[in-house]
Structure 1
């Protein structure tokens, strides 16, 4: 058995660029230890993707960022002499509706955002009509743990481990031109820094441990640990009988309010602190803020409302701040990678449409439209039809000209 584990560890080490080592050297804190059990969170629990996603603050931040990006339309533009012109290439359908086989575009974006936030890298394989064709037929997301990145002759090569329909595993090697690779902080030319191994190592580990402790505390009927004092010198059999009888009758949430009957001089002594004394609630609250700080998410946006936001008041300012400081870095990274691998020319490019999240309340929005169209003798810089397009309204006749103060008809009243 030990020899088999040694061979398996060497295979994993070769596949992940980790130096091979015998089983005796797979110790806490080593690379191979993190592969087998997840990163060690400061002596609390081993943090991996499953553990991290069991923490409500982590899944709240990931869902918020992933959901926001997946709800944004991705538009495509062509640069012209007068600026830019929007158009709809064939890949519009892939990146906005159906990315690959049974992958909706929304699921693709949520998946790659989760990969980038937790593992530091997001990988999407570009499928083409043929090996030598430039026609793209699909975008397939790949889990970061199933990708090995190496540099060969100055180019990145991606080794992918995939599951076949019959359940077997096969290996596929992909060139950098056929892989969207979006990295987070700490990119070294091959991979970014994994948040699970670094940022979330302690934060998520402590939060998970606190959740586990809270669950065990309430599973025990919200009672702290205690010792039962029996008079005299009871035998081992009597001690076991008292212990098993107590656990059968009084342990568990359903038995938490049953009165305990003590006779014969039996006494109960509390030997641990209760939840309030051990600062359990304060710890759990602080860990929410710590995790939000890692992901750049205001705590109030995932339901943690103990402290007010510093981004101003109102839905408008909150949304604008969230787009600028949290979403924009992710959006720019995705846009640049798509522009580089899909178009390979500065003439065409794509942009996420963030206007929906940045829109203010209806009164402020309409007041801005009045200023843009032109009012009080001021010339307009937007046409009526441009405004109607922003509100998803059909264009109207005569609404494509800019308002000038000397015009007899005021289009702003349209």
Structure 2
């Protein structure tokens, strides 16, 4: 199937490759020595090259510069790391529901999708692209029988998606060659705002100005402290010094007082000179409050609770304890990413066989809290007056323990009420 589709797209690929190479040659003429060449498929790279995508605060905000903000880095690392660490078991549908199965795709999804990537690095990279770029891509390499044997992550800048009728065609740069790929052979994980072809990133759609202010505040704070934690000022002289005298005075002052190491050296003013402050102090400009607010604003754009990226001044509305915070994080933040990823995997890996499906194991996030995990499994197994929804062997399977005899029976209150009471001891026996 893949070979036929690839042959149908061969002519289109050649045209796309020729067009891209021609545009890259034209673009190379405007690249100066301080900038690396930018691929024409990298739309953000082109905007950054000409510096036409600055925020209102001044700094250019894109996927690369945004990660310099600690709030953006923490948000992306939290979401991508949580999804990458979750187990991805494969199930098969049965007449009574479903059951886990030992499927060959399990290795691709949980251990090694491609020789250059571990499964954790693979998922962390794709989710990061989804958050920072808008779309995450992975090429499905199939054998002659159409069975996936490798999942290859493709950089966002190396993909051009085009709509042909009601289907998508992808032109990708892989191993130095341009190839055309049908939508059945490309994992495409879009974000909010997907228009059927591509998605806007969180940075561009909702957090551009917040990240720009954060970067500007970081730069201002750095310059403030590099100047010895002093605001900008001017030296006032009652006379009329010459240009040479002004330059000499400026150089001597900078050499003597600029930098944190010289911040406490006493200043000696002669000839009636005085110092006049030109800008607001850090306290007047509320630098610290601004930086705190930007953390909250950026966290809101990513759907991350601020307390999970280090902003602990505000209390959480998700309850107390790691269990409640983990449940809230999975329910309100991760599920908006997990469900689309599951649907994309299931429709691309098993397009004609709905018997199998993959599903993230949300309970995997509770593995680090033994108390919360014990309470969860206790409720799942059931107890007096409460019906259980997991068997002992299902719990043991999650904990990588072998099954036990009789461990597949689901607990119900009726099962204990119908049990035979123990026999009364014979009163004639000691």
TM-score range, shorter chain: 0.7 to 0.9
After TM superposition, the score normalised by the length of structure 1 is 0.86
Distance change >3 Å, CA 402–CA 159, structure 1 → 2: closer
CA contact (8 A) 1:99 1:139 kept: yes
Which of the residues 265, 274, 291 maps onto 2:298? Answer: 291
- Distance change >3 Å, CA 369–CA 207, structure 1 → 2: closer
Quote the residue 2:409 is aligned against: 401
- Partner of residue 89, structure 1: 103
Conserved 8 A contact 1:381-1:402:
yes
Counterpart residue number, 2:171: 159
- Under a length normalisation based on structure 2, what TM-score does the superposition of the two structures give? 0.83
Contact 2:194 2:200 in 1 (8 A): yes
Q: How does 1:100-139 map to 2 (within 5 A)?
A: 100-130=114-144, 133-139=145-151
Q: CA RMSD in A?
A: 3.0
Aligned to 1:229: 236
C-alpha contact (below 8 Å) 1:41/1:47 kept by paired residues = yes
How big is each residue's C-alpha offset from its partner over 1:106-133, in whole Å with a ceiling of 9 and x where there is no partner?
A: 1111111111111111111111124xx3
Q: 1:385 aligned to 2:385?
A: no
1:177 aligns with 2:184: yes
Q: After the TM superposition, which segments of 4 or more aligned residues of structure 1 sit over 6 Å from their partners?
A: 9-14
In the alignment, which residue of structure 2 is the partner of 1:347? 355
Deviations 1:79-125 (A, max 9, x none): 01121121122221111111212111111111111111111111111
Contact 1:15 1:148 in 2 (8 A): no
Between Structure 1 and Structure 2, how many residues are aligned? 389
CA distance in 1, matches of 2:292, 2:245: 43
SS in 2 for 1:138: strand
State the distance in 2 between where 1:107 and 1:17 align.
23
The separation in 2 between residues aligned to 1:10 and 1:182, in whole angstroms, is 34
- The alpha carbon displacement at 1:7 in A equals 3.3
User: Could you give the per-residue CA deviations for residues 44-96 of structure 1, whole angstroms, max 9, x where no partner exists?
Assistant: 22111111010000000000000001100111111011211211222211111
Do the aligned residues in 2 keep the contact of 1:316 with 1:359 (CA within 8 Å)? no
2:315 corresponds to: 308
1:77 lines up with 2:91 in the alignment: yes
Question: Which shifted more, 383-392 or 117-126?
Answer: 383-392
Going from structure 1 to structure 2, the CA distance change for 1:212 and 1:162 (only over 3 Å counts) comes to farther
More strand by share: 1
| Distance in 2 (alpha carbons) for counterparts of 1:409 and 1:135 | 56
Instruction: Using the TM superposition, give the Cα deviation of residue 277 of structure 1 relative to its aligned residue in structure 2, in angstroms.
Output: 0.5
List aligned pairs for 1:6-405, cutoff 5 A. 7-8=26-27, 33=47, 36-37=50-51, 39-42=53-56, 44-130=58-144, 133-162=145-174, 164=176, 170-344=177-351, 345-358=353-366, 362-363=370-371, 365-367=373-375, 369-370=377-378, 372-376=380-384, 382-402=390-410, 404-405=415-416
Q: Tell me if structure 1 keeps the 8 A contact 2:190–2:199.
A: yes
Q: Distance in 2 between matches of 1:200 and 1:77?
A: 38
Tell whether the 8 Å contact from 2:92 to 2:101 is kept in structure 1 after alignment. yes
User: Closer, same or farther in 2 for the Cα pair 1:38/1:120, shift >3 Å?
Assistant: farther
